Structure 1
Amino acid sequence: MNFFEYQDKARRNSTLLVVLFAVAVLGLIAITTLFIALLTHYSRGQGSASFTEIFAGLGWDMVAGIAVTISAIIAVASFFRLRQLAAGGRAIAESLGGKKINIAPDGLAEQRALNVVEEMALASGTPVPDVYIIEDSAINAFAAGYKPADAVVGLTRGCIEQLNREELQGVVAHEFSHIFNGDMRLNIRIVGLLHGILIIGLLGSWLLRGSHWAGGRDNRGRAAAFAIGAGLLVIGYTGTFFGNLIKSAVSRQREYLADASAVQFTRSNRGIAGALKKIGNHASGSNLKAANASEFSHMYFASSLKHSLLGFFATHPPLTARISRLDPAWTGFGTQPASASQAGAETGGMPHSDADTQIASLNQAVAHPGDTASDAVSPYQARLDQVLETVDNNIAAPSASQVDLGRSLLSRVPANLKSAAHDPFAARALAYGLLMAPEQREQQHDILTRSAHPAVLREFGKLQPALEHLPVDCRLPLLDLCVPALKALAPQQYQIFKRNVIKLLRADGKIDIWEWALYRVLVHGLESTPDAQRKVTSGTAKASADAQRFLLATMAHAGNRDYLAAKRAYEAGLKQLQVSPTPLPTRTDITLQRLDKALVIAADIAPLKKPAFLKALAVTLAHDGVIEGTEVELLRAIADCLDCPMPPLLSPADSANTSKHASATALQSG
């Protein structure tokens, strides 16, 4: 199962989850209505009667009113909780007492954790997420958010201090798989829906506490309040019981798949298996102490609860089951860890699930690494095949060489630029420099002189020499590094920054497609809410098809100055996409507003249709027989805005030097 299949399955799981919770809510409404009807019937001193007589005596209007009231209470409570979590992962991390470390990590353990997260983000082609440290001695972690652009990774103090680098990489890779597989949005919806069901039980407990005052000296009034409160309490927690069962059942299988994905990302089962073993042998295990930790139990790397009723409420599989799937040679807690050769051995026996099959094949890949390449094709065809192969197999799932390349890219970024990317003030100057076109630099600098803060201009002057010599393949990773620091800007600062960026894009009255692509990556990583146009026009198949054609036309003009050459490239892309040909829009038809609108509409393409579109974009760019570094960067930028993070691609020079760079980086950052 690849990234797009996971995304499609996540959509179907989300729909199924909503249906199951709707059934649970309807059941609660029916039980609550019946309870109140019975209570009302017997409070009038009436004897036994059939349900029909009870409801008839109560009045169908009143029954309907009770059902509407309960529905409204659940809906309002769920909406309120979801609004509290509207900030996505940041709201969850802060509710657990998390501290963001992207800007100023404290100590070697925090710096190492930040390095590991940044390397994984650059290797997978996604903006660097905010990293939060939870001050807890337990070994645990989580990923939270609505989509990759607003995701955060939370790591406990025990996690970053008790695990070695390889084990920490395994944990972070596990959490990145949740980011990519569409689990995070589902997890937040679960929290909101469960809160809505729980509110009935909370109302019951409030009534129970207040029953002492009910009715003054009227024991009958007090008894009625007590009975209503007790009934609502039982009903509410019954709903929560079934809601947690649904949550747990959904979560357990996803953990097996995330473990398998972690092996795929790191090409090693030793790291994640070692982390799980340390949890089992650690005094605090993975049990978080935060007061509201149980609310988010399904989001963690390992279970945060010490006990679970007969395993029904377990949001994670048992540690022993997870470790045995990853390391079949493991003999139990308290034994010596398996050797490297044992940990890399192929699993035996019949796989228990898709996750087992995936781990078995990946273990074989660990034991016999190596990328295949054909010497019978031209360098251009090999490059195109590499791009198409990446779309099929490496979107949000970087290969071992691409993970190494992510480290290499990080090591090749000059130290002053890397430092600037972590500072909210200097990051603005760095982003301005990355978005400037060499042929327009003087004109764009004049714009900044008039619009930007003088101190930002001074920072820009310090960074400009290094920016002028920055390799093309480092621009997009460096921009991704800037995202957490730019998120720390105050709203007014961000609006000024965004206006200046748009002024740079419009400096000469024309749209430079590469500048626009980097701008969209920046906005996509910084703004969690979708553009208004998407809500209006993205719902129709025609709008989606028109958006895809427009983006293909944009790519055709980007790679070809001549109209006829652009037309042939455009038609090749349409043929790859298997859609009917249409006239090629002229270069003057491509405006900033139309590009933005087309991109946000295309982002809503069904997951299983996105690979074909990405391949069509690649074929359009490559039609002139050349795939330059800037063209690969452009394709990766658009893929990122479509929520399809594409890892960096190896050039021939990269292939020769990646291992050397990666080894040096590991020594520097470990």
Structure 2
Amino acid sequence: MLFRRHQEAADHRSLQLYGWFALMLLGLVLAVNGLLAGLWRLTSPFGEGYPALFFETNTAVVALFVLGGCFFETRRLREGGGPRVAHWLGGRELTEPEDALQRRLLNVVDEMALASGQPLPRVYLLPREDSLNAFVAGWDAGDTALCVTRGALERLDRAELQGLVAHEFGHIRAGDLPLSMRLLALVWGLSLVHGFGRSLMDTGEDGRVSPMAWMVGALLAIVGWLGWLAGRALQAAVSRQREFHADASAVQFTRSRDGIGQVLRKVWHDQQAHAARLHHPAAGLVASMLMHQPAGGCLATHPRLSERIRRLHGRILPPMPATAVRAEAEPRRMRATAHTAGAMMAAAPGSPAPADVHGLALATPDDRDALDRLRRLSGPTEQRLAVLALMMDPANAREHKLWRQQAEGLPHAERILQDVMALQPPRRVPEFERLTAQMARDPITQRRAVVEAGRDLLRADGRVSPRDRLWWLSLRHRLNDAQREAPMLRPVTGQGQDLSELPPDALQAVAALSAYLARMLPEPETVPAGGEASRPLRAAAAEAWLSGIGRRTGLPDITVTPPPDADGLMLALTTVQELSWMLRPLLVKGWVEEAVNHSPNGVMSDATADALRLVAGLIDAPLPPMLSAHYPRA
């Protein structure tokens, strides 16, 4: 990671900025002193010399306005941070909106925060702006605000909105925000000299203006305007250097150049129609922060759109119109407020287990008591029976019968089974992971006995379903002593940075593992009255999910049939485990996002989430936030 190099580059840019600002301030002081000295000679041709402290006073006044204005504006910006800038431009914060397009924006921000590895900013909508634009402001991760115009929200599809938001996250990751905020404060300070000159030219309470005051004001207004212009030129020069980098970051975070590329083409079309500017009077001061600002010459804060498009696509593509998009159903943001949870906990007695806004089960008193008792289990036999009970299908009578046979002789075995069955479904896999992490320190003979008992339990009914095999493989993987006593598999190098760049054998393994997962997820959108999805419905849902995986990852067409057998599954797992640390999370992220997209109302079922979590553990990949949000926090 080049964090230190980025940090040093940011410090170097800041020093350069302060150096140029000092030169502009010196030039402004010299210009004011020179012009006022000429004015004094013009109005007092026969006077000798200049009044006492003439130049010192002029210098102090200019420094007071520029440095004082810069200081106080910096202080105000630091106190308010990004939200102050957002409110300054008429932004309205989005938290838990009902509008589908606004929910889509919040979900996209969550996704890009994950892809860029940055904390979530506060999200604001500029409801009065019809242009396609966005910007981020703030000093650090704690006060960052991301503002998106209403035009971008209503006229960009989801992929394009991802490109727009990813561009802004590129600025955050590159450390451009503090520099932009300092530039904003410096330009504001330079503009105060011009404002002071204009105030001297105004009429007094008696409706008159002093000729001398008017001439001094005119000089200060002219010189101040030139200083402000120089500050804007410096602001624009710094900004132009960072836009290409942010465009490249958008491609990196979204794994597609079409999103940001089509946004730029639509902005180009609006620019030709003279509809690409923000209407707010203060928009010019934040021009360097915007995704694009149509200004030419030395004040151009952004490179030409044609050049940005050429660098993205390798050639200049024509502008394209931005029409209104259809508001499609979008799941709510993956978080619940305490107010929402409290309201649902107050549900009437006898109602089903309460769930939060994402459809997740919330803790009940019985659930918490059962969890507390399970976490007090310490003996190896008790832990083994708890793990086996967590792996069982609650509706499989033969598995329950075999479990009770293995539990003979333990007085409180039935209490363990009841506690496991009392757990809400999202708690089963996390508790399984907690127990197996403790048991991984047991002697190898005990661990092998647990793995064999799990195998016998899951085939008690004479067959091993895809779900059973996944649970057993997870048990063996987590208890395997090779993980502790032998070196882990080293990822194969030279795989590139994209799944589509994998060699054929690795692509085949990814396709096989995806086809195996398709046998368990996602749930079909429509289920017959009988409750269970029919075979054609499930096959159609699996095909749609696999097609989405192929489009998202750039993989070749993946077919549902034939799914891998036991040997093919083990070979696929071994190959995928050898992928690089960067590619495995990308694969899991693609699986999860497509499962959400193909689940009813955008909410994964517990079975779908459990399958994805188990397979992520099998390939040692971290859980994406969209999946981890399905499970209650410890």
Instruction: Give the TM-score, by structure 2 length.
Output: 0.54
In 2: Cα distance, 1:419 partner to 1:161 partner: 26
C-alpha separation between the residues in 1 aligned to 2:342 and 2:300?
A: 45
2:342 and 2:585 map into 1 onto residues whose CA distance is 32
Q: 1:144–1:153: 8 Å Cα contact kept in structure 2?
A: yes
How far does residue 290 in structure 1 lie from its aligned partner after superposition?
Answer: 1.1
Distance change in 2, residues 1:335/1:212 (3 Å): closer
In structure 1, the residue matched to 2:395 is none
**8 Å contact kept, 2:194–2:221:** yes
Gap change, CA 1:273 and 1:41, over 3 Å in 2: same
Q: Is 2:49 aligned against 1:132?
A: no
- Aligned partners of 2:275 and 2:251: how far apart in 1? 22
Contact between 1:420 and 1:426, CA under 8 Å: does it hold in 2? no
CA contact (8 A) 1:255 1:317 kept: yes
Counterpart of 1:420, as a letter, is: T
Counterpart-to-counterpart distance in 2, 1:470 and 1:9: 45
Deviation at 1:117, TM superposition (A): 0.3
1:321 to 307, 316, 341: 307
Q: How far apart are residue 162 of structure 1 and its match?
A: 0.9
Structure 2 residue 592 is matched with structure 1 residue 661: yes
Q: CA deviation at 1:299?
A: 0.2
Residue 531 of structure 1 corresponds to which residue in structure 2?
none
Greater Rg by CA:
2
> 2:96 touches 2:333 (CA, 8 Å); kept in 1?
no
Which residue of structure 2 lines up, in the alignment, with residue 557 of structure 1? none
- Please identify, of 72-81 and 173-182, the stretch whose mean Cα deviation from structure 2 is larger: 72-81
Residue 218 (structure 2) pairs with residue 230 (structure 1)? yes
Selected match of 1:243 from 231, 243, 254: 231
Q: Cα–Cα, structure 1 residues 237 and 10, in superposed 2: closer, same or farther, change >3 Å?
A: same
In structure 2, what is the Cα distance between the partners aligned to 1:651 and 1:324? 28
Q: Which has the higher contact order (CA 8 A, sep 6+)?
A: 1
User: Letter of the aligned partner of 1:139 in structure 2?
Assistant: L
Aligned to 2:237, the other structure's residue is in SS state: helix
Q: CA deviation digits over 1:82-138, x for unaligned, max 9?
A: 23322111011111111111x222411111111010111133333321111111111
The DSSP-based 3-state class of the residue aligned with 2:300 is coil
Partner in structure 2 of residue 270 of structure 1: 258
For residues 481-500 of structure 1, give each alpha carbon's deviation from its aligned partner in whole angstroms, at most 9, with x where no partner exists. Answer: xxxxxxxxxxxxxxxxxxxx
Q: Secondary structure at the match of 2:202?
A: helix
Q: Give the conservation status (yes or no) of the 8 Å contact 2:266–2:319.
A: no
1:77 aligns with: 69
**What is the CA distance between 1:38 and its match in structure 2?**
2.8
RMSD: 4.3
2:139 aligns to what? 146
5+ long unaligned stretches in structure 1: 48-53, 337-409, 443-463, 476-559, 561-621, 628-648
Alpha-carbon separation, structure 1, partners of 2:333 and 2:259: 32
How many angstroms apart in 2 are the aligned matches of 1:158 and 1:170?
15
Residue of structure 1 aligned with 2:335, choices 398, 405, 418: 418
Counterpart CA distance in 1 for 2:217 and 2:484 is 71
Supply the distance in 2 between the matched residues of 1:287 and 1:652 (Cα, whole angstroms): 40
Contact 2:92 2:126 survives alignment (8 Å)? yes
Q: For the residues of structure 2 that align with 1:29 and 1:108, how far apart are their CA atoms?
A: 54
- Counterpart of 2:542 in structure 1 is none
Report Cα offsets for 1:381-405 as digits up to 9, x if no partner: xxxxxxxxxxxxxxxxxxxxxxxxx
Shift of 1:40: 2.9
Match of 1:8 in 2: 8
Aligned to 2:86: 93
Deviation, 1:66, is: 2.3
Q: Residue in 1 aligned with 2:290?
A: 300
1:131 partner SS = strand
Rounded to whole Å, the distance in 1 between the matches of 2:255 and 2:584 is 23
- C-alpha change, 1:425 and 1:89, in structure 2 (3 Å) is farther
SS in 2 for 1:100: strand
Partner of 1:32: 32
In 1, Cα distance between equivalents of 2:150 and 2:312: 25
Match of 1:183 in 2: 176
Q: 1:344 maps to what in 2?
A: none
3-state DSSP class of the match of 1:418? coil
Equivalent position SS for 1:58? coil
Alignment counterpart, residue 201 of structure 1, candidates 194, 204, 211 = 194
Residues 143 and 471 of structure 1: is their aligned pair in 2 closer, same or farther, counting only changes over 3 Å?
farther
| Aligned residue number for residue 248 of structure 2 | 260
Q: Tell me the distance in 2 between the aligned counterparts of 1:204 and 1:108.
A: 49
Shift in Å at residue 416 of structure 1?
Answer: 11
- 1:478: which partner in 2? none
- 1:333 pairs, out of 301, 306, 319, with 319
Query: Structure 2 vs 1, CA of residues 417 and 276 (structure 1 numbering), >3 Å: closer, same or farther?
Result: closer
1:281 aligns to 2:212 (yes or no): no
Report the CA distance shift for 1:37/1:469 in structure 2 as closer, same or farther (over 3 A).
farther
CA shift, 1:247, in A, is 0.7
Structure-1 separation of matches of 2:484 and 2:38: 75
Q: Deviations over 1:597-653 (max 9, x none)?
A: xxxxxxxxxxxxxxxxxxxxxxxxx999899xxxxxxxxxxxxxxxxxxxxx96999
The alpha-carbon distance between structure 1 residues 213 and 190, as it changes in their structure 2 partners (threshold 3 A), is farther
CA distance in 1 between partners of 2:96 and 2:288 (Å):
29
Counterpart residue number, 2:517:
none
- Partners of 2:216 and 2:197 lie apart in 1 by 7
CA distance in 2 between counterparts of 1:185 and 1:426 reads 41
1:381-396 matches, within 5 Å, as none
Q: Whole-Å Cα distance in 1 between the matches of residues 333 and 283 of structure 2?
A: 39
Contact 2:187 2:228 in 1 (8 A): yes
Corresponding residue SS for 2:299: coil
Q: Where does structure 2 lack aligned partners over 5 or more consecutive residues?
A: 323-329, 345-355, 357-361, 373-422, 435-440, 442-482, 489-579, 604-634
Q: Tell me the CA shift for residue 421 of structure 1.
A: 7.4
- Displacement, 1:77? 1.3
**Matches of 1:78 and 1:416, distance apart in 2:** 39
Tell me if structure 1 keeps the 8 A contact 2:14–2:179.
yes
1:19 corresponding residue in structure 2: 19
Equivalent residue number for residue 312 of structure 1:
298
Once residues 120 and 45 of structure 1 are traced to their aligned partners in structure 2, the CA distance between those partners, rounded to angstroms, is 67
Q: Percent identity?
A: 32
Amino acid at match of 1:172: V
Question: 3-state DSSP class of the match of 1:292?
Answer: helix
Q: Equivalents in 1 of 2:197, 2:299: separation in Å?
A: 23
Equivalent residue, structure 2, for 1:169: 162
Report the Cα distance in structure 2 between the residues aligned to 1:625 and 1:93, rounded to whole angstroms.
Answer: 54
Q: Distance in 2 between matches of 1:22 and 1:241?
A: 15
CA 1:654–1:193: 2 relative to 1, 3 Å: closer
Cα 1:132–1:298, aligned 2, differ >3 Å: closer, same or farther?
A: same
Q: Tell me which residue corresponds to 1:359.
A: none
Task: Give the structure 1 partner of residue 557 of structure 2.
Answer: none
Compute the displacement of 1:284 (Å).
6.0
Aligned positions of 1:498-537 closer than 5 A: none
CA contact (8 A) 1:148 1:180 kept: no
Flag the 1:166–1:334 CA change in 2: closer, same or farther, 3 A: closer
Per the alignment, in what secondary structure is the counterpart of residue 289 of structure 1?
A: coil
User: Cα–Cα, structure 1 residues 2 and 284, in superposed 2: closer, same or farther, change >3 Å?
Assistant: farther
Aligned pair in 2 of structure 1 residues 471, 36: CA closer, same or farther (>3 Å)?
farther
Higher helix share: 1
Distance in structure 2 (CA, Å) of the matches to 1:250 and 1:651: 32
1:45/1:296 Cα in 2 relative to 1: closer, same or farther (>3 Å)?
A: same
